[in-house]
Amino acid sequence: MKLNIKAFTLASGFTWAAAWFFVAWWLILQEGPTGEITLIGRLYPGFRLSPLGSLFGLLWGFIDGCAMGGLLALLYNRLAGEPGQD
């Protein structure tokens, strides 16, 4: 069975974006908005524990999730091959 690359790419992007957005807000609600650069903020420019930083996390998460999801779907489709071929 092959994966629909476009659907898997978008689903991965939305999932990863939502995860970073909710993680940022969870930390903001727990500790308050600090605006400090976090470890992930070094990989995702603009991501900080602040409301604006959570939007940067949303954007970078979507881009990163789409890229990784698309590559994973392509790799899966290549390795899965056609049904019945062993």
Statement: the pTM of the whole predicted model exceeds 0.85: no
26-to-10, 11, 32, 33, 60 alpha-carbon distances in Å? 24, 22, 9, 10, 18
Give residue 14's pLDDT.
97
Give burial (CB, 10 Å; 0-12/13-18/19+) of 31: exposed
pLDDT of residue 83: 65
**pLDDT at 80 > cutoff 80:** yes
Provide the residue ranges of all domains of the chain, joining segments of one domain with +. Answer: 5-80
Q: Is the pLDDT of residue 33 over 60?
A: yes
pLDDT per residue over 47-76, tens digit each? 888 899 999 999 999 999 999 999 999 999
Q: What is the mean pLDDT of the chain?
A: 89
> What's the CA gap between 16 and 1, in Å, rounded?
24
